[in-house]
Amino acid sequence: MEASPIYCLPNDTFHQIFLSLPLRQIMICRCVCKLFDQIISSPFFIDLISIRPPLHLIALRPPHHHHHHHSHESLSAAAANSSLHVYDPDQNQWLRFSLDFLPFRFPHPVASSLGLVYLWGDSPESPESNKSLVVCNPLTRQFRVLPQLGSAWSRHGSVLVDSANRVMVLTELAALYFSGSNQWSKFSSNLPSKPRSPVLVSNSVYALCDVGSPWRSQWKLFSCTITDLKSSQNWGRLERHEWGDVFDILKRPRLVRGTGNQILMVGGLKSSFSLTASCSTILILRLDLDTLEWDEAGRMPVQMFQCFQGSSKFKVFGGGDRICFSAKRMGMMALWDCCSGKAEWRWICGVPGYSDGLYRGFVFEARFTALLP
C-alpha cells in the first residue's frame, strides 16, 4: 500500500499549518495520528510555540483518600486512571490530560507554574513510604524527578512554586527549598501553628496562622522572605492598626494568590463576633502588598451561598482573578471570575472525580513549555 501523500510534506509545511492554529486546536491535533504527535512534540516545534499565550485552566487535585482507595489496583490499571482533569472557564468545558507517560503509581498533582505541573508519585521500584516530587508538562509529556523526599513531606507539607527552578515544601516546623541544584535545602520554619493556605509571591511567603486559644481561633497573617527563611529568621506578623478586625469577620479564612503583587483572603462572613455565629455569605478580600491596604473584591450572591449553608466546610482554590468553591455532596462548583474587570459568579457543572464533592485544585496555565534537565 502506498503511503499517504501527507507523509511527503516537509516539516516546515506542517510547522506553518500548526502555527496558524489556536493552542486548543494544536492540542487536539496531537491526538490525530503519530505523525502529528511527533511533529508537535519535537523540540524545534515546542521552541516555536513556547511564546504563545497560555490557556488559563483550573486543575483538580485528587483527594488524599483516593490513593488508598486504589492501592489494591494493578500498576496498569492505575496508569489508565492517571489523568489531570481541568476546567476551561473561557470555553465552559472540561478537559483531560493523560499522565500515563509517568512511571509512577498514583500520581497526585498538587501545584503548577509556567505550564509545569508538580505532583507526588510512588516509584514502582521504591517502597511505599518513599515519595518523589515530580515536575512534568502534560502537553509535551516530559517529566523530571526532583531529589528524593520522605512520605511525611507529602502528607504534611504544602508545595509552593513560582517558577520551574523555585520550589518550596512548607510545614509548621521546617521548610525545604529547591532552586535547581541537586539537593533540597532544609530550614527551620518557627511558625506559631500549622500554616494555612501559604502562598509564594515574588520573594516572600505568606501564611495564616492560628494564634488563639483551644476554644477560640484567632487568625493572623505571617510573612517571611526566602532570604530570611534561609538564615532561619523568624516569621513576622503582618498587621496594621488601620486593618481593624479584618481577620475576625471571616470564618475559616484562607489565602489565595491574586494578580500581580496581591493576595486574596476568602472566608465566610460572620453575622456577629460570637463563637457560634452563622455566616451570611462568602467574602473575598484583597490585600495590595505594595500599599498594605485591604479592599473587598467580591461576595457570593445570597442565592448561591444558600447551597453552601448545609455543608460544615467548603474548599477554596484558584488564583489571579478566578476562585473556585466546592462543598460536600454538591456535585458542582461555584466560580468567581473577575478576568473581564467585572466580577461574575456562576456554577461549574459536570465536575468529574469523586463522590464527596469536596474538590480541591490549582491554576494551570497550559502551554508547550520545554522542561529543562
Per-residue pLDDT in tens (0 to 9) along the chain, 373 residues: 456 778 778 888 888 888 888 888 888 888 788 888 888 888 888 888 888 889 999 999 886 544 444 444 444 444 445 889 999 999 999 999 989 889 887 889 999 998 999 999 887 666 555 778 999 999 988 899 988 887 788 888 899 998 656 888 998 888 888 877 778 888 888 788 889 999 999 889 999 999 988 888 899 999 998 888 877 677 899 999 999 889 999 988 999 999 999 999 999 999 887 777 788 999 999 999 999 999 999 999 999 999 888 777 789 999 999 999 998 878 889 999 998 888 899 999 988 866 567 889 999 999 988 776 6
Considering the entire predicted model, what is its pTM?
Answer: 0.88
Buried b (16+ CB within 10 A) or exposed e, 307-340: bbeeeeebbbbbbbbbbbbbbbebeebbbbbbee
Rounded (10°) CA dihedral 254, 107, 87, 113:
60
Q: Are 342 and 348 contacting, i.e. CB atoms less than 8 angstroms apart?
A: no
Grid cell at residue 13: 509545511
Question: DSSP readout, 227-253?
Answer: HHHHTTPPPEE---GGGTTTTTSEEEE
pLDDT at 81: 55
Give CA–CA dist 241/195, Å, rounded. 23
pLDDT at 159: 92
pLDDT at 361: 94
pLDDT at 264: 97
DSSP state of 62: P
Buried b (16+ CB within 10 A) or exposed e, 55-93: bbbbbbbbbeeebeebeeeeeeebbeebbbbbbebeeee
Burial of 288 (0-12, 13-18, 19+ CB in 10 A): middle
**Which domains does the chain carry?**
1-52 (no CATH), 53-62+73-366 (2.120.10.80)
Q: Which residues contact 165 (CB under 8 A, 6 or more apart)?
A: 178, 179, 180
pLDDT at 331: 81
pLDDT at 73: 44
